[in-house]
Amino acid sequence: MSAGAGPGTAAATTVAAATRAERRAGWLFSAPALLAIALFFVLPTIASLALSLTDFDIYALADIGNLRFVGLANYSALLGDPLFWTALRNTLWFVALGVPAIMLVAFAAAVLVNERLVAWRPLWRAVFFAPYVATLVAAAVVWKYLLHARYGLLNHALAAIGLPPVDWLGDPRWAIPAITLFVVWKSFGYSMLIFLAALQTVPRELEEAARIDGAGWWSRLRHVTLPAIAPAAGLVAVLAVVSMFQLFAEPYVMTEGGPAQSTITVLYLMFDQGFQWWNLGLGAAVAVVLFGCILVAALAPAAALRLFRGRGG
């Protein structure tokens, strides 16, 4: 409360100026949503931590009396499980391949849609965004057949330019890049919109001035456009990292985690442990590890930047 603020407009925004009816309405209006969030979001999230310290399994599901507190045993079991390391490595590969690819394609699409020389720009914008709206499972089914080794269109296109066919989803070396290709197609439209919003804040005059000064297309991009969209690029990167950490439906539909577990992700492992084998305690430990990864990946860039700036200044 800003007690020192004078009367009039400043006071109108403080709690002190509110009538009793308004304060009561504030709580009444927000209570249903807050209650739902507490019951169905916050409570389960915290309970995940607790659950990960127990041996909750199919026996405990039948009779809660079978539940035991096991401390960090689930975590040490995970660290000793090769499948966990495979899932983590696969997930990191998805992040490493997918994030730069999404940023690059989304940026190119945004530049194209923002370029005044291009005709029918709203049409292209809608087309680029359409895959993001499409139902993930349906699109994954379509891509499963597009990537098929024998009758898939992609191999057919490769053959047309003289390249040998690739067993995209059947070869452990190619399955991650192939699914990443699908994810980039599916999601670049969203990142494109964020880039587009940033590009539209670049003043046309600045662009014109650079042009008059004789700066070429590349040099204008490098010195005018890129600095202006740097914050948006950071946002796109963080959102892409977070979404790449949460891949599940893509491998579930396209490869069932295979071949040879080469596309099992951390979230897939949580689903398998929790709902296929009913090892809910172990599954919860996977969820907590995943949360830790996402938190680090989302907060690290900002923290690093702050540290870097702190030293510089």
Partner 1 sequence: MKARLAMTALAALFAAITLAPLLWMVAVSLMQPGEAGRFPPPLVPADPTLAHYRALFANQGMGLFLLNSLAISTLATVLALIFTLPAGYAFARLRYPGRDTTVRVLLALLLVPGQIGMLPLFLELKALGLVNSYAGVLVPWLAGIVGIFLVRQYALAIPLDLVEAARIDGASEWRIFRHVALPVMRPAIATLALFVFLGSWNDFLWPLIVLSDHDLYTLPVALAALGRERSQDIELMMAGSVVTTVPVLVLFLALQRQFVGGLLAGSVKG
The nearer residue to partner 1, 151 or 312, going by C-beta atoms, is: 151
Smallest gap, in angstroms, from Cβ of residue 114 to partner 1? Answer: 11
47 contacts 281 by C-beta, under 8 angstroms: no
Smallest gap, in angstroms, from Cβ of residue 138 to partner 1? Answer: 4
The nearer residue to partner 1, 174 or 274, going by C-beta atoms, is: 274
Say whether 54 sits in a helix, a strand or coil. Answer: strand
Short-list 283, 285, 267, 266, CA closest to 275: 283
Q: HSE-up of 127 (CA within 13 Å, CB side)?
A: 8
Residue type, 3: A
Smallest gap, in angstroms, from Cβ of residue 261 to partner 1? Answer: 18
The nearer residue to partner 1, 21 or 161, going by C-beta atoms, is: 21
Residue type, 200: Q
CA dist 135 and 294 (Å) reads 24
Structure tokens, 312? 């510089």
Residue type, 62: A
The nearer residue to partner 1, 261 or 272, going by C-beta atoms, is: 272
Smallest gap, in angstroms, from Cβ of residue 21 to partner 1? Answer: 6
Say whether 292 sits in a helix, a strand or coil. Answer: helix
- CB neighbour burial string for 93-122, b if at least 16 within 10 angstroms, e if fewer: bbbebbbebbbebbbebbbebbeeeeeeee
The nearer residue to partner 1, 275 or 312, going by C-beta atoms, is: 275
Smallest gap, in angstroms, from Cβ of residue 174 to partner 1? Answer: 18
Short-list 111, 104, 142, CA closest to 125: 111
- CB neighbour burial string for 130-162, b if at least 16 within 10 angstroms, e if fewer: ebbeeebeebbeebbebbbeeebebbeeeeeee
The nearer residue to partner 1, 16 or 313, going by C-beta atoms, is: 16
Structure tokens, 4? 């020192």
The nearer residue to partner 1, 97 or 280, going by C-beta atoms, is: 280
Smallest gap, in angstroms, from Cβ of residue 95 to partner 1? Answer: 14
